[in-house]
Amino acid sequence: MKTWLYLPLLLLAVFVMPACKKTTNEIVIPNQTILVEASPNDWIYDNTDQTYNWSTSVPELNGVNQLDGVIVSMARYAPNSSAAPQEFEMLPQVFANQSYNVLHNENTVFVQIKGINGVASAPPPTKVRIKIVLIPSEQ
Q: Which of 131, 114, 128 is nearest to 39 (CA)?
A: 128
One digit per residue, the tens of pLDDT, for the chain of length 139 reads 565 666 666 666 666 666 566 777 777 668 889 999 999 999 999 999 899 999 999 988 887 777 778 889 889 888 777 788 878 889 989 988 899 999 988 889 999 999 998 889 999 988 899 999 988 876 6
pTM, entire model: 0.72
Q: Distances in Å between the alpha carbon of 90 and those of 15, 30, 68?
A: 55, 20, 17
